[in-house]
Structure 1
């Protein structure tokens, strides 16, 4: 049907075990295809999830606002509102609005793939091999310029390489509990799950078949981020949601100040000036240079699983934790699990400060007129100027600008106005 976003779409059939009295999903029996879809949620960058949920609510014409993922929605909107001139290059803004992940190509093979992020393409200068002044580099963006001044618009056709499993290799049945624990299907696991959830009368449980399409997958993703019973809320429309909350052991302002003064560290540190209301020590906004803003914006490219890992025990949402543990135990190999929790090369800046692994840069070999050239990655922030470096990533936003960051992580290069008689200035170091 014209105008329908997903016409004649594929579907995956699930078998749900439902408590009829409580109108609650106890568990689901699914195949490999659906488990791969579930695990793909964890490698989606936060910025992509924000964009998906906003688009989903718009397409559904839902009167309710899209689920907010902490302050990440504000970070994403800040990027949308910033002009291209606020960034080192147009590509720098693009990789935040449409962040990539390391398994984009593999996830295109998912039976239900909600990720519309384009597969990475590779470009070189069309004059490579004809001009000595050309940079021996490749780029993922044809909007970037070679050192010779020409756009990197000659596409390099990439080989598909070895076709590997997306996440799980066993073509078996799996059981998923309502709190997102995934395991191989067995009678013993099913009975154990039923007992743990307090169901003693099996006669009150009923089987229900559900055909899941793109719309249902997006609804499940939203429920995963906002509910402690995602299967029930997504497939029975119960919506008994909980809110993502911080736990009381989050670092205080005093701890941040003390941590910056007690000892010197050799690790990378960033300085931020906080403006705090004297009355209750509430942070009104922060003032910083480009490095701290780069650090905040890079979170839009960090996969959900890594954000969860960085947060430690500071966020209460059991379902994501259960799904992360299940993915780790059921992945076809530990190498597959580890590679899916890395940042792509284009996001290497500030990754060490976050303790995140990055993919290693591997030269790309091309042959032109019988001459072999080993090309290195041209980072998206290369603007062709003498101060810009082709093969190293130095950030996203323009240098020399002071940025204002509100307490809800709205970023602006404009000055915020407060009554300065009621606030105090506090220096903090982040490392």
Structure 2
């Protein structure tokens, strides 16, 4: 059973002349933990890196904090807020056999809104005996992981070839350092992997350096291979957003948006990191950081994506909403039966209605959509009220329009009225992809969209 107090040992091979990590040597426990990080929804990643005083990737933390700071009256139900702050993954049950546990699950709530008062076991899960479920490496293995998170199997020949490619001639200049890795170190590795090409060096040898002080990647470079002008010709299903543009530097100051656009932004928090990388693969990937290397190599070694079915991003039941990528779907709610034994007072869930004893009473359970305020609803739409209006800043701070004073906003931004231009931006699938990528890479995600928009005057 995994434990949050456990640690994992790894070895760092360090070039003493340059004080840089050449590579890390680690067992399957560490690689399985890295693999699990890829299954985390972005909201959980924001929570993880936010627990420690470390650099934050892009504007993901602003988006997460906006959900945390918005009042409950902005959401369609109380559960909507917790679904975004504690998003679930379809893979979360498979991490129970990992040595290092990083758990984000929140207790299940009853339809009355209260937490369940007792733990109810799922019979099929308790009956399972395969301790390697959810683990990539079924047997003891060794791996080499480079400073930019390239992964290779730990064969001596691979090490020799890698050192030769680096031009290392004297192995006596290489120092070996053994480290114990816990949840905090994993958090640092995850955060730096989204920003740095020298992840191990930055985390373990340059601890004093704050990556947030580094300049963000240029937006034009960040857009990578995406030809936005070709992909934004369709108008179907687009969301219109009124933006306030600063003329002097052509940056978006803020936007006035409906709940539809805010639903799109907040839905980013529910998408697993590996699914983000899949969505962006072939349409311009993350231009910074080294997390894409980790995803690509683990996929190549273990054929992760080939094992998936069906194709696309799959979220847990009730997590998809109408204003998100068309490739994102939610699983159908599972069918559970509650088995209550009137003699032993034992209660458990099962996927079968067959009784385990003559003293049992079996009833079908109905899973309700927590996003809906209507009783017995099994399918609803977004997270926030569609008719509500919000203010979204360029760095993705979201506030309810009713809570923002217009003059106070202008004073806070420090903008001159003569330097303001108003436009309407239409957000379609290609723009949503660019926003998702910019959310992880850029300090001004909304401004990334300006290069493909036709100006149109509209009162703010």
TM-score by length of 2: 0.73
Q: Quick one: distance in 2 between partners of 1:205 and 1:223?
A: 24
**Structure 1 residues 338 and 285: alpha-carbon distance in aligned structure 2, compared to 1, 3 A threshold:** farther
Q: Quick one: distance in 2 between partners of 1:206 and 1:279?
A: 52
Which position in structure 2 is the counterpart of 1:112? 100
Aligned partner of residue 240 in structure 2, secondary structure: strand
Which position in structure 1 is the counterpart of 2:75? 87
Deviation of 1:21 after TM superposition, in Å, equals: 1.4
Deviation of 1:39 after TM superposition, in Å, equals: 1.4
Which position in structure 2 is the counterpart of 1:133? none
**Structure 1 residues 21 and 96: alpha-carbon distance in aligned structure 2, compared to 1, 3 A threshold:** same
TM-score by length of 1: 0.78
Which position in structure 1 is the counterpart of 2:189? 220
Aligned partner of residue 67 in structure 2, secondary structure: helix
Q: Quick one: distance in 2 between partners of 1:92 and 1:285?
A: 25
Deviation of 1:195 after TM superposition, in Å, equals: 2.3
Q: Quick one: distance in 2 between partners of 1:112 and 1:257?
A: 45
Farther off after superposition, 32-41 or 333-342? 333-342
Aligned partner of residue 73 in structure 1, secondary structure: helix
Q: Quick one: distance in 2 between partners of 1:141 and 1:344?
A: 16
Deviation of 1:251 after TM superposition, in Å, equals: 6.6
**Structure 1 residues 8 and 335: alpha-carbon distance in aligned structure 2, compared to 1, 3 A threshold:** closer
Which ranges of structure 2 fall in alignment gaps of 5 or more residues?
341-358, 411-415, 430-460
CA displacement 1:333-389 (0-9 Å, x = unmatched): 54656699632223111475252343343322346797765545311112136xxx7
Which position in structure 2 is the counterpart of 1:322? 293
CA displacement 1:150-190 (0-9 Å, x = unmatched): 99889753235344233333421111111111121101111
For residues 118-197 of structure 1, the aligned pairs below 5 Å read 118=105, 140-142=108-110, 144=112, 157-161=121-125, 162=128, 163=130, 164-197=133-166
Select 1:33's aligned residue among 1, 22, 29. Answer: 29
Which position in structure 2 is the counterpart of 1:331? 302
Q: Quick one: distance in 2 between partners of 1:144 and 1:331?
A: 43
Select 1:296's aligned residue among 252, 261, 265. Answer: 265
Q: Quick one: distance in 1 between partners of 2:181 and 2:117?
A: 40
Aligned partner of residue 256 in structure 2, secondary structure: strand
Which ranges of structure 1 fall in alignment gaps of 5 or more residues?
1-6, 58-65, 122-139
**Structure 1 residues 152 and 420: alpha-carbon distance in aligned structure 2, compared to 1, 3 A threshold:** farther
**Structure 1 residues 24 and 282: alpha-carbon distance in aligned structure 2, compared to 1, 3 A threshold:** closer
Residue correspondences, number: 385
Which position in structure 2 is the counterpart of 1:428? 426
Contact 1:30/1:175 (<8 A) preserved: yes
Q: CA RMSD in A?
A: 3.4
Corresponding position: 1:96 with 2:106: no
